[in-house]
């Protein structure tokens, strides 16, 4: 929190203005309270809105699950997505067609 405030605060056009909020943080190592300006609050909101978790690989088109692994394999229903999934599905269709009477 302190590092974020330090990175954003120099761009505050009203640095002498009173803080508009107090943000408290409690961890296993202790706690701290940070007075923050309107500028810092707006920057924090924008940063949070722009954040995307690196584990977010979309949703499964089959079951709607949100747990696709790095190979775009759905951990909930087993469907493969993306190019790999398309290639495997095409191969499976070819094999099935060849085995059909």
Instruction: Work out how many domains the chain is built from and give that number.
Output: 2
Task: Kindly state whether residues 59 and 46 are assigned to the same domain.
Answer: no
**17: helix, strand or coil:** coil
pLDDT of residue 73: 87
Q: How confident is the model at residue 34 (pLDDT cuts 50, 70, 90)?
A: very high
Instruction: Tell me which of 74 and 89 has the higher pLDDT.
Output: 74
Give the residue numbers spanning the domain of 86: 55-101
The pLDDT tens digits for 11-33 are: 999 988 999 999 999 999 999 99
Rounded to two decimals, what is the model's pTM? 0.65
CB 44 within 8 A of CB 13: no
Q: What is the mean pLDDT of residues 51-77?
A: 92
Task: Kindly state whether residues 30 and 16 are assigned to the same domain.
Answer: yes
Helix, strand and coil content of the chain, in percent to the nearest 5, comes to 40, 20, 40
């Amino acid at each position: 929190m302190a590092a974020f405030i330090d990175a954003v605060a120099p761009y505050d056009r009203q640095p002498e203005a009173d803080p508009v909020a107090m943000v408290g943080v409690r961890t296993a190592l202790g706690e701290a309270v940070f007075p923050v300006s309107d500028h810092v609050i707006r920057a924090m909101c924008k940063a949070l809105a722009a954040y995307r978790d690196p584990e977010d690989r979309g949703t499964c088109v089959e079951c709607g699950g949100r747990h696709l692994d790095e190979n775009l394999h759905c951990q909930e229903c087993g469907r493969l997505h993306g190019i790999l999934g398309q290639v495997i599905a095409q191969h499976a269709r070819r094999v099935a067609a060849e085995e059909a009477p």
